[in-house]
Structure 1
Amino acid sequence: MTTRITTPFGFASTAAEVLDGVDLTGRRAVVTGGASGIGIETARALAGAGAEVTLAVRRRDAGERTAEDIIATTGNKQVLVADLDLADQASVRRFTAAWEGPLHMLVNNAAVMAAPETRTPEGWELQFATNHLGHFTLVTGLHGALAAAGGARVVSVSSSAHLRSPVVFDDIHFRERAYEPWSAYGQSKTANVLFAVEATRRWAGDGIAVNALMPGSIRTNLQRHVSDEEIERLRAAAGGGASQWKTPEQGAATSVLVAASPLLDGVSGRYFEDCEEAGPNRPGTRYGVAAYALDPEAAERLWQVSVDTLG
């Protein structure tokens, strides 16, 4: 029986507070979706602690603006911008092929949420293709760089929405069942947790730690497909602390804890929320982690399905 990990930080902690006193000089980080929402504050906190940070972004103009802002606020000039469209496998492969040298921290932060039914040119459902398959190709393509770093960490930004759906292996891409945006999003977020479980099993010998997390409820561009009425309805249904908004700085706290805090040295294959390891989900709440998201058999199956899908 493993002990559940707690830290001195919690719901209201900010990313800067979590990394106060942590020196990341000489370490290199990549943050996907680093030009919006909590990605910006994740990148800012890592840069503020001295890391070289690459913002991997779909829109280079937004990336350049964000990099200038982070450089201005942190004084760290090592904030770089690279093109990455996770829904486009060729774009992901270009990114991994161009990467040189070790990589100490990879924060898989970018996501599409509750999008209308959309398919990639391969016929894949967009949320699964972006949130899981794009990141799968990215991380496996950077495996050598992560292994070379020694003690590298990969961060899978999941969501309490994983409680909405396991990975439905019989029909991942909604070819048979009716498309439902939240089920599709939930399934992709469960995949983020399962990835951490299986990557931990496969890569423990490479010194690579992989953990997943729920950042909290934060108003960002991620909700562009969701009406204000829908958001309020979901918050009311969540109840308790799960319905409270966090600032982007608070939302990034658990990401940087998992990415860089010495408190988590040697920890892998776990799911965190509010800066501590989550317990099992209690039915009727939005807290905790679903048993199916930590299931090692489902994790192994998802990995194989991903390899087969990507050819």
Structure 2
Amino acid sequence: MTRHILITGANRGIGAAMTRALAALDCQLTLLCRDCEAAEALIRSLPSRQGIRVLKGDFGTLAGIHAATQVMAALPPLQGFLHNAALWPQQKMINPDGLEQAFVINHLAPFLINLELEGRFKRDGTRVVQMTAGLYPIGDRHYTATAIGDNFSAFKTYASTKLLNLATTMSFAERWQGSGATINAVHPGVVRTELGAMTGLKGVLLNWVKRLWLTPEQGAEAPVYLCSDPALQGVSGRFYDRFKETTLAPFMQDASFRAAVWQQALQLTKKAG
């Protein structure tokens, strides 16, 4: 059976590498991207362009996320869904909803997508993979401040938003138990991409250090494995550091913390239940 897999943020970095790897496995792919021209250029570079579609989606606002979700709801059955779109902000940006931009893209977008599509995920038996970051434990757990950027830090905000996203990812795993849908989180390794790119001297130094990091192709290996390998059928609620299943930080086991993060996400996205 040909697997249909959707990848968000698929036009560059790890997303592009995952696209190439899954296309080589003869998967049918839907690429959801803000930059459709870059995605089309990526498709033209592939040996085969069959079974690949591009959809435009912008996760920068709640309205944009909802609109993209409505489009995704009309797609053919999904066997896999890779949450890859992310932002590592270098300056504080408040979006039209009055929320910090990375908080919306990294946390509320996958939350709202999972919530609005969970009916079809259960029906399709979708294997959902959430890209996360190994540095989540250093994030700030003050989710109210993170939502509006009151604790903004060019380094720490990325970790904070990934921390909150990971909390809701594990809550979805509990919510979907026995439904056929699964969800796991993966830290792909420290990968040489444009995420977190800096300018000036810091940018020069970072680019030099990046030469020691994994390539996008190496970073794509673990999420592609989680999304497609038959050995992981039915596995859910796990956190992987690349290919190694890893225990989450103790605070992530705190049911009251995870419930509070969930309730905030419901309130901000104006969802019920």
1:21: which partner in 2?
none
Structure 1 consecutive aligned stretches of length 4 or more whose deviation exceeds 6 Å: none
TM-superposed deviation, 1:290: 2.4
Q: How many positions carry a matched residue from both structures?
A: 266
Read off the aligned partner of 2:167 and give its amino acid letter: L
Match of 2:206 among 226, 231, 240: 231
Match of 2:70 among 97, 101, 105: 97
Whether the 8 Å CA contact 2:43–2:49 is kept in 1: the answer is no
Distance 1:304 1:27, change over 3 A: same
The farther-off stretch of 140-149 and 180-189 is: 140-149
Distance 1:308 1:293, change over 3 A: same
Q: How does 1:16-55 map to 2 (within 5 A)?
A: 25-55=1-31
State, as a whole percentage, how many aligned pairs show the same letter: 27
Distance 1:106 1:294, change over 3 A: farther
Cα deviation 1:171-191 (Å, max 9, x = unaligned): 22355x442122211111112
Whether 1:305 aligns to 2:273 is no
Distance 1:192 1:260, change over 3 A: farther
C-alpha separation in 2, matches of 1:130 and 1:229: 27
C-alpha separation in 2, matches of 1:138 and 1:277: 25
The farther-off stretch of 43-52 and 26-35 is: 43-52
Whether the 8 Å CA contact 1:193–1:211 is kept in 2: the answer is no
Read off the aligned partner of 1:107 and give its amino acid letter: L
Cα deviation 1:199-220 (Å, max 9, x = unaligned): 0111113211111111111121
TM-score, structure 2 as length reference: 0.89
C-alpha separation in 2, matches of 1:257 and 1:294: 26
Match of 2:134 among 160, 165, 169: 160
Whether 1:204 aligns to 2:177 is yes
Q: Secondary structure at the match of 2:196?
A: helix
C-alpha separation in 1, matches of 2:82 and 2:213: 22
1:3: which partner in 2?
none
TM-superposed deviation, 1:229: 5.4
Asked which structure has the greater RCO (Cα within 8 Å, sep 6+), the reply is 1
The farther-off stretch of 139-148 and 123-132 is: 139-148
Distance 1:168 1:231, change over 3 A: farther
TM-superposed deviation, 1:40: 0.8
Distance 1:293 1:44, change over 3 A: farther
2:120: which partner in 1?
145
Whether the 8 Å CA contact 2:172–2:183 is kept in 1: the answer is yes
Q: Structure 2: give runs of 5+ residues left out of the alignment.
A: none
Q: Secondary structure at the match of 2:129?
A: strand
Q: Structure 1: give runs of 5+ residues left out of the alignment.
A: 1-24, 237-242, 280-288
TM-superposed deviation, 1:265: 1.9
TM-superposed deviation, 1:197: 0.7
Whether 1:291 aligns to 2:250 is yes
TM-superposed deviation, 1:222: 1.1
Q: Secondary structure at the match of 2:26?
A: coil
C-alpha separation in 2, matches of 1:193 and 1:295: 13
Match of 2:93 among 108, 118, 133: 118
2:193: which partner in 1?
220
Cα deviation 1:68-100 (Å, max 9, x = unaligned): 223x2xx25111100111112222222222232
C-alpha separation in 2, matches of 1:255 and 1:41: 11
